[in-house]
Amino acid sequence: MDDAVKLQAFEDKIARGEVIEPKDWMPERYRNQLIRMISQHAHSELVGMLPEGNWITRAPSLRRKISLIAKVQDEAGHGLYLYCAAETLGIDRSELTEQLLSGKAKYSNIFNYPTLSWADMGVIGWLVDGAAIVNQTMLAKSSYGPYSRAMIRICKEENFHKRQGYEIVATLANGTPEQREMVQDSVNRFWWPSLMMFGPSDKDSPNSQELLRWKVKKKTNTELRQRFVNLTVPQAQALNLTLPDPDLKLNEATGDWEFGEINWTEFNQVIAGNGPCNKERLKARCDAHEQGAWVREAAEAYAQKQARKQAA
């Protein structure tokens, strides 16, 4: 079969809602788009461990400490599922790591913001994980088998993160005046970056159309962002927390909460590497990787020695 025929068969398969598995023929572009998407997601989980890891040693109760460590661990686990899914497309983990550490690969912008108070732990769980869930629920039905299966696993675990976050936010919102102030300040800092997590608006998103046609993505950035806002506003209202957007208002006709214009300048600056923590995040990952080289080598050397012993 020549490529044009294969491509048509592939597109038909997707149109029928069938799942593509690693050994199936796929166009190079599909393969590359998936590698880019999956690895970006994996890198985000990895880097995402850092802003939250920042508060593990200062968690204010044993229950919160344990929950936070478990959450950060889950993120490591999610990174692992996703790297493994990416590897089924023919790329090595070491190559993916190199892309991240060299600054070539992107990861979710939100993790380039600093965590400045305990309240950020709640707000990140509520807003950032909340936004991720809106995105991920859609991806669980992705056309690529290994990605979709990884996402199903991840979605199951993600729910605990969001609940944990919202519980922290509620505790603070209903606490002392200082705690209320702490959590309101946190919301003021994280609201807009959370909205930015859904990426550029559809007209500025070069990859969207293709990804939609191949059922890797099933909804547009704009649709997802609106869905997130609609879910979240009532949750904020339930706690008497304000969102830092004077243009936020309910459109009675559509049921949508309309919101103000996102600061795309800030968005682009952070993507370009000028966010508050970009350099620190990358340095932490680089250091961990470099300082881990001797450990990885030792384990390999041991394994080889054992193999020689067994063979003898």
Partner 1 sequence: MTTTSTKVVGSNPGGEWPVWEVFLQEGEEGSPHKHAGSVHAPDGEIALQNARDVYARRGKVRSIWVVPAVVITASSPSDAGPFFDPAQDKVYRHPQFYKAPRGVKVF
Partner 2 sequence: MESPEEMLSPRAATIAPSELPTFSPAVRTALFDYLLRLGDDRLILGHRLSEWCGHGPILEEDLAIGNVSLDLIGHAQAFLALAGRVEGKERDEDRLTFFRGEREFRNIKLSELPRGDFAFTIARQFLFDSYAALLMEKLQSCRFPELAGLAAKTLKEDTYHLRHSAQWVLRLGDGTLESHAKVQAAFNDLWAYSGEAFVADEVELLLAKELGIPDPSSLKAVWVERVSALLKEATLQVPADCFMHTGGRKGLHTEYLGKLLAEMQIVPRSYPDARW
C-beta of 21 vs 181, nearer to partner 2: 181
Chain residues that interact with partner 1, rule: CB under 8 A: 21, 23-25, 73, 77, 80-81, 84-85, 87, 92-94, 149-150, 153, 157, 293, 296-297, 299-300, 302-304, 306-307, 310
In the bound state with partner 2, the residue whose beta carbon lies nearer, of 29 and 292, is 292
Among partner 2, partner 1, none, partner that 266 touches (CB below 5 to 8 angstroms by kind): none
Footprint of partner 2 (CB under 8 A)? 46, 49-50, 53, 56-66, 69-70, 72-73, 76-77, 79-80, 83, 118, 133, 159, 162-163, 166-168, 170-171, 175-176, 178-179, 231, 234-235, 238-239, 284, 287-288, 291-299, 301-302, 305
Rounded Cα distance between 305 and 301, Å, is 6
Token reading at 270: 């952070």
Indicate the angle between helix axes 93-101 and 28-53, nearest 10 degrees.
60
The nearer residue to partner 1, 23 or 203, going by C-beta atoms, is 23
The first and second tokens of residue 48, run together, are 């995402």
- Which residues does 271 contact at the CB level (< 8 Å), separation at least 6? 106, 109
Q: Which is nearer to partner 2, 26 or 127 (CB)?
A: 127
Q: How far is the CB of 199 from partner 2 (least distance, A)?
A: 20
Smallest gap from residue 159 Cβ to partner 2 (A): 8
Output the CA–CA distances (angstroms, integers) from residue 253 to 139, 218, 225, 258, in the order listed.
29, 25, 19, 11
- Angle value at C-alpha 74, between 70 and 77, nearest 5 degrees: 140
Residue 179 contacts which entry, partner 2, partner 1, none (Cβ below 5-8 A, type-dependent): partner 2
Contact partner at residue 58 from partner 1, partner 2, none, CB < 5 to 8 Å by partner kind: partner 2
**CB-wise, 176 or 291, nearer to partner 1?**
291
Residue 225: name the closest of 259, 253, 272 by CA: 259
Beta carbon of residue 39, minimum distance to partner 2 (angstroms, whole number): 14
d(CA 51, CA 119): 12
Q: What is each CA distance from 276 to 26, 100, 225, 269, 307, in whole angstroms?
A: 40, 18, 24, 10, 48
Beta bridge partners of residue 96, listed in sequence order: none
